[in-house]
Every structure is written in structure tokens, then in C-alpha cells.
Amino acid sequence: MHKYTIVNSFGCDPFTGNPVAVFFDCDDLNAKCMQQLAAELNLSETTFICLPQNGGDARVKIFTPVNQLGFAGHPLLGTAVALAKTRKCSKIKIETLKGTFQFSVEPVKESPFTAHVEMEQPTPVISSYEYQQALLEALGIAKSTLPVDMYDVGPRHVFVGVESISVLSKISPDLKKLSVFKNMAALCFSPDDAGGWRLRMFSPAYGVAEDAATGSAAGPLALHLCRYGFAEFGENIKITQGVEMGRPSRMNAVACMEQNTPSIKAGGYGFQIATGEYFV
């Protein structure tokens, strides 16, 4: 028997944000069992908390319905909310396959199940995406407003810019063609009407046709915008995702540059919506 909770990440109202299932005390589960549980629950990600091995407070394994990820934003934000609530702490070091990262959790006094989280994110490996023309065709987009670059932070995010929310909302990708692109997510973005940015994510390769909130892409998007002069380094960038899915999610991200080395952070609210016990 394993206790678990479900947290909606990057939302603070009912039926907003992106849900993640968080399982506690999972050292007795192997990777095959974790993958089967993630597939059965069929959320975009499920996390499993284990004992730390490298000086952190917890070691977390992350699974989509089809594969394991080294790092992911919304699952780890939800996990940080769950850990902070159960352990009564506000600073948490979480070990992942991509390294150990610091999370700061600030509870919301008016809502005992809600907290705001800020997280460190891995330094991305940046490259120009070599299959960009085929990707544009699969997305049904004629061209990108910025260079089509890939940011590898564990999951690999490829950014495609469009000129307006109107264009963004009408994107209807060919998921069969998109599934040919292995180990990547296509992130389409546009400026919004409030000085921030709108985002959509499509990734059949990760078992997710469309994602409501891709936290691991928030920091890379901030860096992408800064690299091409659409934002300033150190600026707090507001990102909205999931609107077209009826799951509006709000993220914030900051990209900094020191001695030609980027660093990125992301954050947002998360709230616990359910608890239960799973008989494994």
C-alpha cells in the first residue's frame, strides 16, 4: 500500500493547472512498477518519492505514461508542495537524474492546501533544431518568428514562435507526423495582450498530445526570449498555458547570464486536490 496525493501545479483555482500524482515512500518499487503506475493513472506525469542518496532531502523519480524523465517542472513543483505539507518545511533540495535542485515553498495562509513554489532548473544545452522544416509542417505553421532552437534540460524542448494568440489558438498539429520526432516536445508561443507570453506544448513522443503546463519549458522560454532581445535578463516573465485545453495555468520564469553561462528559475502556485492509498 502506498499513500499518494494529487497536486494541480501552476494553478490556484479549482480545475486549473496541471495535475501530478505524487507517491510517497517508494524505495520498494522498481522502475517497471513505477512506469506501470504512471501508465495506469494516465496523467501527463507521476512522481515517486524515495530516500535521498546525494545530500538532498528527497530523491524523486518522474514518469510520463510512456517513459522516465530526468527533470520536469510541473511534477516537481507539485512534489515540492506535497513534501512541504507533509514535512512542515519551506526549503527542499530534491535529487533528480539531472542533479539536485533547490525549491522554496511559501504556503498561502488563506488556503491550507495551496502554496507558491520557486525552483532552480538545469542549465540547458542549446542547439539549432535540425528538423525544423519538417516540424513546422507537422505543426501546420509556415514559419517561426524566432529561430527554432532546442533546449535540453532533461526533456528536450523545441521552441516555435507565432505572431499572435489568434494564430496560436488555431494550431492543430498532425500528431501522427509529430510522433516521428523522438525525445522532444514542440513548444509554440506568442506574445499575449498583457505584456506576457502564451504557450502551447505538443509531445506525442512523451505520451502527451498537449500539456496544460510545462514547467520545465518556462525557464528555457525565458532564456530563448532573452537571447533574441524579446526580454531582458533578470526580468520576471509571465507565461500562460493550457487555455485551449480549458486548464489555464500560470507560470513565472527568470533567466540570468553570468560570465556567458545562463541560469534559469521558474515558479508558480500549486494546490493539493486529492489524497488516497494505492494497493500495489
Calpha distance 242→187 (Å, rounded)? 12
pLDDT of residue 35: 97
99: left (phi over 0), alpha (psi -120 to 50) or beta: left
2-121+268-278 is a CATH 3.10.310.10 domain: yes
Q: Is the pLDDT of residue 111 over 90?
A: no
**Percent of the chain with pLDDT strictly greater than 90:** 91
Choose the catalytic residue: 40, 45, 110, 258. 45
Query: What pLDDT is stored for residue 110 in this prediction?
Result: 85
To 10 degrees, what angle do helices 215-227 and 73-87 make? 130
In this prediction, residues 123-149 reach a mean pLDDT of 97
Global pTM value: 0.93
pLDDT at position 205 is: 83
Which comes out higher in pLDDT, residue 27 or 113?
27
Q: Which residues pair with 68 in a beta bridge?
A: 63
State residue 112's pLDDT score.
83
Residue 280 has pLDDT above 90, yes or no: no
pLDDT surpasses 90 at 215: yes
Hey, what's the cell of 88? 512542515
R_g over Cα of the chain: 18
Find the mean pLDDT for residues 118-147: 97
Dihedral (C-alpha) 179, 180, 184, 186: value to the nearest 10 degrees?
A: -70
Query: 86 near 115, Cβ under 8 Å?
Result: no
| Position with higher pLDDT, 280 vs 190 | 190
126 grid coordinates: 542549446
Percent of the chain with pLDDT over 70: 100
Q: Are 218 and 251 in contact (CB under 8 A)?
A: yes
Determine whether 40 is an active site residue.
no
* pLDDT at residue number 238: 98
The CATH homologous superfamily of the domain defined by 125-265: Diaminopimelate Epimerase; Chain A, domain 1 (3.10.310.10)
With beta carbons less than 8 A apart as the criterion, state whether 52 and 95 touch.
yes
Model confidence over 13-45: pLDDT tens digits?
888 999 999 999 999 999 999 999 999 999 999
pLDDT the model gives residue 109: 85
Residue ranges per domain, the chain? 2-121+268-278, 125-265
Please tell me if the domain spanning 2-121+268-278 has the same topology as the one spanning 125-265: yes
User: What counts of helices (H) and strands (E) characterise the chain?
Assistant: 6, 17
The Cα–Cα gap between 167 and 149 comes to 20
Confidence class for position 199, pLDDT limits 50, 70, 90: very high
Predicted confidence at residue 206, as pLDDT, reads: 84
Q: CA–CA separation, 268 vs 239, rounded Å?
A: 10
Instruction: Give residue 207's pLDDT band: very low, low, confident or very high (50, 70, 90).
Output: confident
pLDDT above 90 for 134: yes
Q: Is 14 left (phi over 0), alpha (psi -120 to 50) or beta?
A: beta
CA distance 53 to 108: 31
pLDDT of residue 12: 87
E strand segments, 90-219: 91-96, 99-108, 111-121, 125-128, 149-152, 156-161, 185-191, 197-203, 208-211
Strands 208-211 and 237-241, by their bridges, are unpaired
